[in-house]
Structures are given as structure tokens and as C-alpha cells.
Structure 1
Amino acid sequence: MNQLAMVDTITRPLANYHSSVWGNYFLSFTQLTCLYLHEVGIRCTLPTPDPIYEKLKEKVRQMWWKDLDHSNKYPYARDKLVECNFWAMGLYFGPQYICARRMITKLIVIITITDDLYDAYATYDELVSYTDAIERCDISAMDSIMMYMRPLYQVFIDYFDETEEELTKDGKVDYVYYAKIETNKWIRSYLKEAEWLKDDIIPKSSSLINRLKDDIIGHEHEQQREHGASFIECYMKEYRASKQEAYAEARKMQMHGKI
């Protein structure tokens, strides 16, 4: 069984049901094989906040991440495989959409790694070259980027090749063209944020309500490393306010749509 198909089969039932009392029993003798995990996924219909689910999630992560070689090739990136699959399930829940879920899961995993590359690891000059290579989306651009970036770039190329092959079966190969256009847009947005950090620019926040949501959740983690200014930090400094006061103001602005 394809490993992402196995992940999908395991996690799709997890959204609605409670843990089987037999969950620990089955997990106690499972091996790291697709067949066994498929059987366990069917027998153990687990909700997210469950210790059995955590054990199963770790088994799934070990298998798919082993192929990706995440810890060696992308040590700077977050480990979000199962979370990405749940995100894809939220978009395409029905069993008839298994192919779409696999494609979306892979894409979100790639986006997560890319986000961490731009946000916390590469230099600005390295990112300029990498962005240009992504926009070309051609294997010949490999020589223009840093060696440590090449595995991720290869994943990009392979993803679009695989997607094109899959969509060709349904006569929808033109969708890949539009997917590449949208990819270039979000890659450029990552580069713009890196440019703001390099030039010490605090961008205007008009129409960026979701930015407030993100800052409330992640600003403390972001400030532990070199990072662009957040609304929370700016508000605290400008008004000499506490963190709780800044949170309250951010939520009020979200609620009323005023930035």
C-alpha cells in the first residue's frame, strides 16, 4: 500500500470516533509495516487528544519521514506530517478524494519545510537564488542554489511531475500550470518577509487580520530568534502595555475588522 494512502486510511477515521479499548493491545504487537498499520488504523478509531493516537502517529511519522529523510536534510524544519494530513482531510474528507488528500498533504508538508527555510535558516542572498529557481521549476536551475537546498528543490520538482502525471489521467493537466503560478506567489511572499527582516522594515498591517491571529499564538516563539516585528511586540513597546493588554487589543481589532 502507498504510504500516504496508508496515512490517509489511518487518520481519516480518527476525526469522529473515540478510542477502542483494544487500542493498546493492537499497538503492542504491531510492526512498522503498511499492512499492519492499515489494520490498526481500522481497528483503533482514535480522536486527536489520545495517548494511543500519539503512539500511532509516531509510527506513521517514522515511516513517511524516513523516506523524506527529514531530520538529516531539513533539520531546521518542523515535524508536521500528521497535522498536515488532518488539514488535507478538512478540505477533502470523503473516501473518493483520497488522491486529492495525498497531493494536498504532500504540498502542505513542502510548504511547511519551505516556510521554515525562509523564516529561520537561509540567508537573504541564498533565498533570492532559491526563489528564482522555484519560479523556473526546472531541474537545470539546481546548480544555481546552495547544496543544502537541493534536496528540497528536488522534492518540489518531483511533486509537480507526480501531480502532472496524476492529473493527466483525468484530463486536467492544465491545473498544474495554475498551481505553479500560485506557488510562485507564496514563494515571493516568503521572500518579501525575508526582505523586511533584512532591511528592518515594519510593514503596514492594513487588511492583515490573520496576521493578528498568528502573532497571538506565535510571537513569543518567533522572538526567540531573529524575526520581523509582530503586532504584539509593537503594541507593548509603543503603549508600554502588558502582553495580556496587547492580546486583548489584537482580539478586539480582529473582532471588529479594524487594523
Structure 2
Amino acid sequence: MVPRLETKWFIEAYEKRNSMNPTLLELAKLDFNKVQAIHQEDLKYTSRWWNKTTWDAKLTSLRDRLVECFLWAVAANSLPPFSPLRRILAQVIAMTTTIDDVYDVYGTLDELEQFTEAISSGKAYLKEAKWYNSGYTPTLEEYLENAWVSISVPLMLTHISYLTSVTPTEEIMHSMERIENIIRYSGIILRLADDLGTYTDEMARGDNPKAVQCYMHETGATEEEARMYVTTLILNTWKKLNKERSTILDSQILKELTDCGANLGRMAQFMYYDEDGHGSRPDITKYHVLSLLVNPI
């Protein structure tokens, strides 16, 4: 479960215990509300930035999902000292969501290639566009090799690495190399969870084949069998990620980065557990937005 959601759940569950300590409960509630107030200020800051971009007015097909983007940032790191991380990360996620929408409506491959020069993860987006234009369905392995990058986890964790520490750039880059597998596994989990929640709608509107379709095309499996396989693949990738995390003991920045990577994976399974909570079904996450960011305990 996403750590911040787990905090709210545990406070509410603890309150029902017969052995509950009233003083401890009151302190927990005060702490939750204090942190929530910090998150509200972070969201206000991010909202002002979003309004200044005026992208929602300029790009009519754009999904206005700023609050959902901010929820991802809170999930990555909810601790009070990390307001700069949440503010910048929410902006990064909002921009990648915008880029994804732009790719969905862009015209020719020449236009896409020009657009790609200006963005990170652009080559991965472009490869998906070329597959789509040629009608090519990749194998699941080929798809994932590209998709863990196009889902923008490397981009997000790169930004996080510079926002969690005052460590020199050279050391940060070395740290990123050390957790390459964690970045990869986190990206795969996020991509597969996203696919399970969104592939039906995306296929209906003619999008690229997702993990489920790639596996069905490659093996001849039924849709149900493919979904089961992808679910198992997520579980096995979590095992690999957790094994890698257990080796990160000698550096605070590495611990913070690996925690954020794992939290992004948790958030993905939460956001896409019941259809597409980030994109087409914002009503799914409305309750949690109100619970975590609006209504104090």
C-alpha cells in the first residue's frame, strides 16, 4: 500500500482498538494534519505553476490531471522536508502526461522526430510511434525493454536524485548507476500496472498494443491468460526489486532513491487497480484526494 494511505488507514484502525492510547492517537492525528497542511501548500504552488503554463487552453485534447500528478509526488515521498521534491516531481509528471497526450494526437513521424529532440524519454516514445504506424506488434520482452523507459520512471528518479540530497553531481550519477536495476524494475512494475488498468480503453481508441496484447499475439494466449501472466510478472518483478533494495545499506541517498522507486511502483498498483484512476476515471481517485489532501482527521 502507498505509505501515506497506510498512515491514514492505521490511525483510523488504531482508534477502534480497546487498548488504544488516547494521547498517542491525538498526537498521530495532529501529525497527520500538520503534514497534510504542508502538502496543501505544495499543491497550491504546483497549481499556480500549472495555471501559468495555460497548456489546458492551448491543447484542447490535454488531460487536466494536475491533482492526480501531485498525488504521485506525495506517494513518492510524503515527508515534510521534501516539499521541493514534491513540487518539482508533480511538474515533471504533469509534463510527461502532456507529452503522452501530444504523442497521441501528433501527425507524421517527421513531426514526431522533431518533437522528440526536445524531450527526455523521446526515443522510447518515438519507437512506440513507429511500431504503431507500421502495424508492428512487438514481443512482450521487446515491448518491456522500451516501455520501462517510456513510462518515465528513469526521468522521475533522476529528478528525485537531485532533489533529495546536496550530494555533488558526480556522486549522484554514480548512485544512479548503482541502482540501475531498481530503476528498471520500478519502471516495469509501473508500466505493467498501467497496462492492466488502461489497455481496454486504449485499444478501443486505437492505441499501441500493450503488454496484454503483446503476450497474446506472441503466445496465442487468451486475454484472461495474458492478464494472469502479466499479474504474475508484476509479482516476480517486485521480488527482484525488493532483493535489490536489500543490498542498498551504505548510502542515505541510495536508500531515499530506492524507497521512492518502490513507492512509485506501489502508487501504480493503487492508481490502476480499478481501471485508469490517472486518466479516464478521475472519479476513482477523488475519495483518496479528499481524504489525503483536503479533509483533516
TM-score under structure 1 length normalisation: 0.50
- CA shift for structure 1 position 222: 0.8
SS class of match (1:194) = helix
Cα separation, 1, equivalents of 2:63 and 2:100: 10
Displacement of 1:235 after TM fit?
4.9
The residue type equivalent to 1:121 in the other structure is V
Specify whether residues 92 and 220 from structure 1 end up closer, same or farther in structure 2 by C-alpha distance, changes over 3 A only. Answer: same
Q: Which residue of 2 aligns with 1:37?
A: none
Q: Tell me the equivalent position of 2:129.
A: 194
Distance change (3 Å), C-alpha of 1:201 and 1:110: same
**Could you tell me which residue of structure 1 aligns to residue 77 of structure 2?**
92
Q: Secondary structure at the match of 1:206?
A: helix
| Structure 2 equivalent of residue 216 of structure 1 | 196
Q: Distance in 1 between matches of 2:141 and 2:105?
A: 28
| 1:71-124 CA distance string (max 9 Å, x none) | 321222222211222222233323222222211111111111011111x11122
Which consecutive residues of structure 1, in runs of 5 or more, have no partner in the other structure?
1-12, 19-41, 47-52, 136-182
2:63 alignment partner, one of 72, 78, 84: 78
**Cα offset for 1:188?**
1.4
Aligned pair partner of 1:122 in 72, 86, 106: 106
How far apart are 1:228 and its partner, in Å?
1.6
- Sort the Cα spacing of 1:193 and 1:82 in 2 relative to 1 into closer, same or farther, 3 A: same
Offset at residue 217 of structure 1 (A): 1.2
Matched, 1:239 2:220: yes
1:226 to 206, 219, 242: 206
Is the 8 Å Cα contact of residues 14 and 45 (structure 1) preserved in structure 2?
Answer: no
- Are 1:250 and 2:230 counterparts? yes
Greater RCO, 1 or 2 (C-alpha within 8 Å, sep 6+): 2
Q: Quick one: distance in 1 between partners of 2:214 and 2:89?
A: 35
Q: Residue 60 and residue 82 in structure 1: after superposition, are their counterparts in 2 closer, same or farther (change >3 A)?
A: farther
Whole-Å separation in 2 of the counterparts to 1:94 and 1:212: 27
Deviation at 1:45, TM superposition (A): 5.5
Look up the equivalent residue of 2:75 and give its one-letter code. Answer: G
Q: Name the counterpart of 2:139.
A: 204
Instruction: Please give the alpha-carbon distance, in whole angstroms, between the structure 1 residues aligned to 2:224 and 2:71.
Output: 31
C-alpha distance after superposition, 1:42-81 (max 9, x if no partner):
69959xxxxxx9xxxx999976543332332122222221
* Alignment: residue pair count: 164
TM-score in terms of structure 2 length: 0.45
**Unmatched 5+ residue regions in structure 2?**
10-32, 145-187, 238-297
Equivalent-residue separation in structure 2 for 1:251 and 1:62 (angstroms) = 35
Structure 1 runs (4+) deviating above 4 angstroms are 13-18, 42-46, 58-65, 234-238
Structure-2 change in CA distance of 1:192 and 1:232 (3 Å): same
Contact 1:17 1:45 in 2 (8 A): no
Q: Distance in 2 between matches of 1:246 and 1:14?
A: 30
Indicate the percent of aligned positions where both proteins have the same amino acid.
28
Paired with 1:92 and 1:254, the residues of 2 have a C-alpha distance of 22
